[in-house]
């Protein structure tokens, strides 16, 4: 219950225009600013520099140009153009060709046709250059639409496309089966959004049990699943199940967020497991940042310490 209250509180804060203005001023002001622990930068150049460093340490990458919940056709079109430009820039940079995006950034809140058209533009550009595109999962209000759009474009032949499943949602067993039947690739996460109790598990123990159940199903029948967690118990459960099934590390990968549990990232990579780091960047970083704080109390403690340090230095 504490996890649910904490998540709800930070999701509420993420909607504050005042906090967003304050964070925009202080959070990324210098290389040592508190938000840079979790955000690679506000520009693609900053993100590429972070990505190169991570790649040199043996990590795989996926870049995410942050933004969500646009309300007009013009904003959605602009976001699609930014992603097409991002693909060109990443192509020239020589770093790994892997990106993530949110459908509400491409017009899912405007209308379905707009969103599909914008995503198709990005996929066409991605396919020309050998990029892989992952659709992030947002709140449960968009789960049906996200999976429908994923399946629509998959059926149209776009195979450089994956999707995310949230273990916290009670519907996810059926959703995993649906995507497995298509042959699509999935990233399994616990879920960062505050959801009503009829839609999602409220107790951490129930979310963990669902995560383990879905992880096992993906390792058994999924297409190169991505196990995205910072929870050592979930990681140990994954390793134990893979070993019991005789699955090599090449059968799946772990995914973690930039700046979160870097000790686990290094340890898994050192042991020969594939670890992909999710690298977010862009000026619209505040909602993402607040969700990260809501997931782990240690994240909050880090930011408070950083803010006190910065205040003392000013």
Please compute Rg for the chain using Cα positions: 19
Residues 63/89, Cβ–Cβ less than 8 Å: no
> What residues have CB less than 8 Å from 138, skipping those under 6 apart?
68, 102, 103, 104, 146, 193
pLDDT confidence band for 293 (50 / 70 / 90): confident
Residues 171/143, Cβ–Cβ less than 8 Å: yes
27 or 252, which is more confident? 252
What's the confidence (pLDDT) of residue 302? 52
> Distance between CA atoms of 189 and 152, rounded to whole angstroms?
23
pLDDT confidence band for 283 (50 / 70 / 90): confident
14-23, 171-180, 258-267: which has the minimum mean pLDDT?
14-23
Q: How much is the pTM?
A: 0.87
- In the three-class reduction of DSSP (H, G, I as helix; E, B as strand; rest coil), residue 134 is classed as strand
- Res. 19: pLDDT tops 50: yes
Query: Residues of 256-267 as b/e, b for ≥16 C-beta within 10 angstroms?
Result: bbbbbbeebbee
Residues recognised as catalytic: 136, 187
The string of pLDDT tens digits covering residues 159-202 is: 999 999 999 999 999 999 999 999 999 999 999 888 999 999 99
> Distance between CA atoms of 293 and 274, rounded to whole angstroms?
26
- Res. 115: pLDDT tops 50: yes
Q: Where do the domains of the chain lie, and which CATH numbers do they carry?
A: 40-284 (3.20.20.220)
- Res. 294: pLDDT tops 50: yes
Strand 60-65 to 98-101 pairing:
parallel
DSSP secondary-structure letter at 95? Answer: S
- Res. 56: pLDDT tops 50: yes
> Distance between CA atoms of 7 and 135, rounded to whole angstroms?
22
- Res. 15: pLDDT tops 80: no
The string of pLDDT tens digits covering residues 64-102 is: 999 888 999 999 999 999 999 999 999 999 999 999 999
Beta strands in 167-207 (DSSP E): 185-189
Residues 189/229, Cβ–Cβ less than 8 Å: yes
Average pLDDT, rounded, for the chain: 88
């Amino acid at each position: 219950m504490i996890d649910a209250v904490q998540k709800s509180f930070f999701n509420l804060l993420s909607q504050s225009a005042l906090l967003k203005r304050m964070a925009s001023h202080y959070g990324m002001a210098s290389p040592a600013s508190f938000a840079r622990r979790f955000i690679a930068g506000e520009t693609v150049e900053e993100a590429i520099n972070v990505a190169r460093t991570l790649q040199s340490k043996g990590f795989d990458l996926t870049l995410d140009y942050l933004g969500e919940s646009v309300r007009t056709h013009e904003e959605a079109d602009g976001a699609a153009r930014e992603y097409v430009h991002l693909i060109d820039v990443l192509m020239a940079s020589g770093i790994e060709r892997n990106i993530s995006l949110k459908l509400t950034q491409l017009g899912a809140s405007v209308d379905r046709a707009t969103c599909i058209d914008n995503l198709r533009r990005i996929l066409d550009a991605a396919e020309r250059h050998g990029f892989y595109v992952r659709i992030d999962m947002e709140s449960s209000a968009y789960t049906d639409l996200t999976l429908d759009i994923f399946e629509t474009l998959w059926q149209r032949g776009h195979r450089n496309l994956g999707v995310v499943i949230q273990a916290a949602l009670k519907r996810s067993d059926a959703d995993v089966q649906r995507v497995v039947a298509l042959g699509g690739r999935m990233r399994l996460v616990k879920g960062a959004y505050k959801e009503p109790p009829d839609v999602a598990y409220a107790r951490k123990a129930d979310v963990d049990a669902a995560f383990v159940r879905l992880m096992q199903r993906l390792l058994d029948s999924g297409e190169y699943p991505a196990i995205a967690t910072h929870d050592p118990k979930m990681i140990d459960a994954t390793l134990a199940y893979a070993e019991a099934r005789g699955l090599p590390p090449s059968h799946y990968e772990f995914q973690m967020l930039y700046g979160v549990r870097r000790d686990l990232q290094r340890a898994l990579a050192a042991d020969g497991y594939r670890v992909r780091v999710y690298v977010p960047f862009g000026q619209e970083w505040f909602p993402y940042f607040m969700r990260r704080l809501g997931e782990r109390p240690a994240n909050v403690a880090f930011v408070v310490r950083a803010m006190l340090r910065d205040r003392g230095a000013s």
